Amino acid sequence: MKMRDTTKQFSLSILYVATLLALFAPRMMNPEWNFDSVVYVAAAQKDGFETREEWHTAAYESVAQVADKTAFRKIIKGSQYRKQLHQNPEYFETQLPFYRSKITYVTLIRAMDALGVNPATASHLISTASIVSLGLLAVLWMGVGGLNVWVFGAALCLMFTTPFRLAVGFSNPDPLCAALICWGLYTIRHGRKPLWGIAWMTLAVLTRADAWMMVAILLLWLYGSNGTILSRRGAVGGWLVSLGALGTVMLVTKPYAWGVVAQHTFVKKLYKPGEMDQTIAFGDYLNALWRGAMGDYHLHPTALGSFLFLSVVAVGWVTIRKRDVHQTPSIHLIGVAWICAILHFLIFPSLNDRFYLATYFIVACESISLLWASPTKEPSTHPQ
């Protein structure tokens, strides 16, 4: 009987992976190229050229080799800002501190470049691999109580929602950061391997420095779960290691201050050497919060409402089944994920879904797990 179940699960796993790749294929074959792609390539190749002009030209050429003509035209002529950066290597270099702080992502691009992969293609492949890995993690996460066709179906539905389907075609560090956070959380909570989990989360901080906030809160929650998931020693060690990673990013890459990043993103583009110390005024920040909440800073409609609705359904389901919401760890984790999203919005007021991939993934996996858990039992935190 066990042999038959194992064979069935293996067959379902192969079918799931094939279906996942087939659904992702159109987006994987037509990735999204934008100006960020150029600067990440430039950050990875900074030390490979003798002159700034050669480095500047090579970064654009790498993207031009793989991007379609329309997308590349927008990269070099889409606005006055982009035209100036394409024409002036000195202006272009001022953008580097915005991007080189993504150490893990830039290092992976550099490594793949050394192996002969076009660095622009590498920037896309890293995002693709990260989202595919989340597709595999979704099955493990929702199937801790046992794999069946419903688990695979739910995982497919999650991964084909707009945020993840679009992210598989990105060329930025956000999918990698989300994957590292979620794999780290799963490894600690379900795999009971805190050292490995903390390592993944630390790499997430080295991918995006602002991920430290979510990592710190998740480690606190893991320790606060009656000390049964993460010990005090593990939590303190995780905090110190991840904080060390944050300090490393600041000391080694010397990124611009938050106020400069906010001014550049939400008020006006900064690219002249003499203006790279301008910071956002308080009134402009409040305006950015309002405009961000109204959806002014993202191209695609946000999926936040859909995942928030799923959270409400999970809470309602727990209540209907006469379980105490306040004593349900999965509900706590869903709440923690949303708190992290709110704090991120306050720091960087945009509802662009790529910043909330980790929150969406945690919310969906925990909510769906709750929906088919037994009436008296919390979804298992141990793999079966």
For the stretch 309-330, pLDDT in tens is: 999 998 888 888 766 666 778 8
The SS3 of residue 126 is helix
Query: What is the per-residue pLDDT for 167?
Result: 95
Domain locations in the chain? 1-172, 298-384
pLDDT reading at 155 higher than 80: yes
Give the mean model confidence (pLDDT) for residues 38-46.
95
Query: What is the per-residue pLDDT for 383?
Result: 43
40-60: buried (b, 16+ CB within 10 Å) or exposed (e) per residue? bbbbbbeeeeeeeeebbeebb
- Asked if 379 and 144 count as a contact pair (C-beta separation under 8 A), the reply is yes
pLDDT reading at 19 higher than 50: yes
Q: Which residue has the higher pLDDT, 318 or 74?
A: 74
Q: Which two tokens stand for residue 81?
A: 């800002």
Query: What is the per-residue pLDDT for 381?
Result: 54
- Residue 269's closest CA among 115, 78, 103? 78
Q: Which two tokens stand for residue 355?
A: 């910043």
Q: How far apart are CA 178 and CA 193, in angstroms?
A: 19
End-to-end C-alpha distance for the chain, whole angstroms: 16
Query: What is the per-residue pLDDT for 149?
Result: 85
- Asked if 93 and 102 count as a contact pair (C-beta separation under 8 A), the reply is no
Q: Which two tokens stand for residue 1?
A: 């009987």
For the stretch 165-189, pLDDT in tens is: 999 999 999 999 999 999 999 999 9
Dihedrals phi, psi of 238, to nearest 5 degrees: -65, -45
Dihedrals phi, psi of 340, to nearest 5 degrees: -60, -40
Query: What is the per-residue pLDDT for 58?
Result: 96
pLDDT reading at 373 higher than 80: no
By CB neighbour count within 10 A (0-12 exposed, 13-18 middle, 19+ buried), where does 383 fall?
middle
- Residue 130's closest CA among 142, 141, 122? 122
Query: What is the per-residue pLDDT for 384?
Result: 38
What average pLDDT does the structure give for the chain?
Answer: 90
